[in-house]
Chains A and B, each alone.
Chain A
Amino acid sequence: MPAAPGSDNTNDNELAQLRAEVDRLRALVGPNEQSYIQLKTEIWSARDAVIGAEAENGLLRGQVKSMHAAVAPTLMIHQFLKDEVFLRIKRWRTYVRRLVIKVGKKLRR
């Protein structure tokens, strides 16, 4: 439908308002219509990179756990032997100390 005569100013005003609204929305979304999609894609690829990095990290963590389990028996044996040796040394030390005291007492008499 042709525009009514004398309505140019109104149209210009509306057009300006619409342009201002577009500018406002662009400012919110980004410099162009593609930016939102690009931003989403970037977020997704960043997320994928994080997932990948975390998975790598998880593999290493898991390997550390399995290595801990692999050395656990050896550590337990080590602890057992250490305890045994220390216990025997302790017992011998007590025995020798008592013996020395006893002999000392006898000698003093």
Chain B
Amino acid sequence: MTPLFSVLTPVYDPPHDVLLAMIDSVVAQTFDNWQLCLVNDCSTDPVITSLLDAAARSDKRIKVMHRSENGGIIAASADALAMASGEFVALLDHDDLLNEVALASFVEVLGMHPDIDYSYSDEAHLTPSGQIVTPFYKPDWSPERLRSQNYCTHFSVLRRSLVNEVGGFRPGFEGSQDYDLILRVTEKARYIHHFPYLLYTWRQLPTSVAGNKDAKPYAYESGKRALQEHADRLGIAATVEMQEPLGTYRFRRHLTRTPRVSVIIPTRGTSSIVWGVTRNLVVETVESLIEKETYPDLEIIIVADTPTPPSVIQALQRIGGDRLKIVWYDRPFNFSEKINLGAAHATGELLLMLNDDMQVITPDFLTDMVPLALEDGVGMVGAKLYFADGTIQHAGHVYNGDPYHAMFRWAGNELGPLGLLVVQRETVGVTAACALLRMDVFEQVGGLTPMLHSSYNDVDLSLKVRSQGHRVVWTPYVELYHFESQTREPHPSDEEHAFIRSRWREQLVNDPYYNHNLAPRRDDWVSKALR
């Protein structure tokens, strides 16, 4: 059966040519079972009325309603929704353009996923001079990212019955009415689909948010409220805060309980020069952990190679006191085995894997990580790590042909493409240098794989966790230094490389949080070349 699409477009005083271009882009759809529901929100320009009426006369699929008074975007959108009779509704602004295959693409996917309730596509901006710029190649469905920014926005297609079920457009969310609607619909959607194609072009006008972030300051306040209500509906104890850049939010979860966290630190007790001063790495790591973290139930398990100097062990015992356990490891180096051994001695409900060459920056960082790790569906949580020079060591993984660290060695103060480096989001994997996961998840996946003794064990763990249906989340709000050698390139052994490629061949080229429009074998979200 061919579905009917209702394209909802509230209209208020757009430039004439822009309005006609928008209508033309709908008329030009290669899929023709649609209706365009245009609601004139009492435009002051009388020509708009005649243009809309002329459009309705020219094509009977175009429905026009003229409001007698200006009610604002939400009232007009609600009227457009009331006019709609399609199985699906699509949101289109009066000054934007649809790609001609936008609806056809959806129909194609509908055949494979009849339970699809919500979809969104990639989008680009159109400059006043007619240039298509800043394509936004989005990740696949990423609920945590949606809680940090409305990355879905356009082109959104929603099942009309679900839109009505959740209450349609709600007054009081001006400027973020679509964000509010998307949040409510996705809470109940059975299947959500991302089209990795530029199906929507967002026109940059001085009055639109696409052209000027300060154009609708009230929109961000509405967005914050929509998110707060989303948290309340889902029963997530969280407070939403606005942050820079505008349009991104901090979804700050609260600790509702404090289960024991077992911190596992594998070490050999080595010293190294950091910031011009020799330091014993593990001693300083534990010292900074204890100094910065006041989490009430913390257990520190040091998995020490037998050659670890006694002075280091004594220093650790002095700093850690009763909370610290030493577990001896007397076999040749194997990071995975050491972590697994530490986990076997752990008594915590949560397990924090921590390298011995770290320095904690964020005080009480577990306050941010623990509630995330305890949330349903979340399997593992990673942090933002910096090299000693402040450049980014870790901001989540990217599996783009091979495993990469996202935005590796970018400046620590960078926002990243579309705020990528300052928003909490799902990622395909995180480094085991600092990762928190529940013990039951660790046991479910069988811990780390000992065949991967030094490299890729975290890639493997992340993919195992994801394969069990859990999400891996990266947070920029937990920051640590990681004094990994900056001059030494990681040299995974051939066997480890072959192992990871044979076990996860498909996953290493299909990162759901990257996008096939981005250049392969890169970590920096650069678009693919022409070919």
Query: A and B, one complex?
Result: yes
Interface centre among A46, A73, A77 (most CB of B within 10 A): A73
Question: Are A62 and B409 within 8 A (Cβ)?
Answer: yes
Question: Are B275 and A58 within 8 A (Cβ)?
Answer: no
Contact of B411 (CB < 8 Å), options: A43, A47, A58, A76: A58
Is A50 interfacial (CB-CB < 8 Å)?
yes
Chain A proximity of B124: nearest CB distance (Å) = 14
Which chain A positions have C-beta within 8 A of B522? Answer: 72
Which chain A positions have C-beta within 8 A of B115? Answer: none
CA distance A23 to B178 in the complex (A): 79
**CB proximity to B under 8 Å, residues A51-109:** 51, 54-55, 57-59, 61-63, 65-66, 68-69, 72-73, 76-77, 79-80
Residues of A contacting B: mostly: helix
Question: Are B276 and A76 within 8 A (Cβ)?
Answer: no
Question: Are B527 and A55 within 8 A (Cβ)?
Answer: no
**CB proximity to A under 8 Å, residues B357-389:** 387-389
CA distance A54 to B389 in the complex (A): 5
Contact of A66 (CB < 8 Å), options: B277, B389, B411, B529: B411
Chain A proximity of B414: nearest CB distance (Å) = 6
Question: Are A73 and B526 within 8 A (Cβ)?
Answer: yes
Question: Are B527 and A66 within 8 A (Cβ)?
Answer: no
Which chain A positions have C-beta within 8 A of B526? Answer: 69, 72-73, 76
CA distance A58 to B389 in the complex (A): 5
Residue of B nearest to A60 (CB): B411
Q: Fill in one digit per residue for A10-45: 1 if any B CB lies within 8 Å of its CB, else 0.
A: 000000000000000000000000000000000100
Contact flag A62-B414 (CB < 8 Å), given A73-B529, A76-B529, A79-B529: yes
Residue of B nearest to A58 (CB): B389
Chain A proximity of B523: nearest CB distance (Å) = 9
Which chain B positions have C-beta within 8 A of A68? Answer: 524
CA distance A82 to B187 in the complex (A): 49
Is B320 interfacial (CB-CB < 8 Å)?
no
CA distance A14 to B522 in the complex (A): 74
Which chain B positions have C-beta within 8 A of A77? Answer: 529-530
Is B44 interfacial (CB-CB < 8 Å)?
no
Question: Are A66 and B391 within 8 A (Cβ)?
Answer: no
Question: Are A59 and B413 within 8 A (Cβ)?
Answer: yes
Q: Fill in one digit per residue for B254-294: 1 if any A CB lies within 8 Å of its CB, else 0.
A: 00000000000000000000011100000000000000000
Q: Fill in one digit per residue for B496-531: 1 if any A CB lies within 8 Å of its CB, else 0.
A: 000000000000000000000001001011111111
Is B477 interfacial (CB-CB < 8 Å)?
no
Contact of A50 (CB < 8 Å), options: B275, B525, B527, B528: B275
Which chain A positions have C-beta within 8 A of B408? Answer: 65
Question: Are A47 and B390 within 8 A (Cβ)?
Answer: no
Question: Are A80 and B410 within 8 A (Cβ)?
Answer: no
Footprint of B on A, CB under 8 Å?
Answer: 43, 46-47, 50-51, 54-55, 57-59, 61-63, 65-66, 68-69, 72-73, 76-77, 79-80
Known: A57-B389, A65-B411, A73-B527. 5 other contacts (CB 8 A): A51-B275, A62-B390, A76-B526, A76-B529, A79-B529
What are 5 sample pairs from A and B whose C-beta atoms fall under 8 A apart? A65-B524, A66-B410, A68-B524, A69-B524, A77-B530
